[in-house]
Amino acid sequence: MTSEATPIYSVVYSSTATRHMDDDDLADILATARAFNERENITGLLLYRAGRFVQFLEGDKERVRALLARIDKDSRHNELRVLIDGASTSRQFADWTMGFEPMREPTGPPPEGFRDAFDDLDNATEPHEVMHATQALSMWFRLRSGAHG
């Protein structure tokens, strides 16, 4: 999609849904995102769990920033918090205009020693914590069978 000489700009953010999102709501978001991202040469991943979104976006810096500004104004969510914002050496999601995975909400306490990367993003205060959690979520998504965007 992009030549190696062109720097890739990456943004990861989290936000809170302003209302319950059902499968139809999420399908609408994805259809719009995939069509837009294909036109703008933006790739990424959207995760949703228990009223929380985490989204990875990557592409041309100006296009990604313009999209983030548009997303920030979307009334379907609030409390947008940028977790990662900067240049990258390559795309993590080159094959997906917008990969998606709804994640189940935990039904009980995690086993001792278990780390929840989705929760880690909400609680991260240091850049290395954010990076570790986003890499774990990216790997989790890639390893799931049939993951595509």
Residues 6 or more apart from 12 whose CB is under 8 A from it?
Answer: 54, 55, 56, 57, 82, 83, 84, 85, 130, 134
The residue segments making up the domain with residue 80 are 8-105
- Residue 134 in any domain: the answer is no
- Residue 18 in any domain: the answer is yes
- Residue 143 in any domain: the answer is no
Number of domains in the chain: 1
Q: Is the pTM of this model over 0.95?
A: no
Q: For residues 124 and 102, what is the distance between their CA atoms, to the nearest angstrom?
A: 21
- Residue 75 in any domain: the answer is yes
The CATH number of the domain holding residue 65 is: 3.30.70.100
> For 69-107, what is each residue's pLDDT tens digit?
999 999 999 999 998 899 988 887 777 666 565 556 666
- How do strand 77-88 and strand 43-49 relate by DSSP bridges? unpaired
pLDDT higher than 90, residue 37: yes
In the chain, the percentage of residues whose pLDDT exceeds 90 is: 35
- Residue 147 in any domain: the answer is no
- Residue 37 in any domain: the answer is yes
- Residue 32 in any domain: the answer is yes
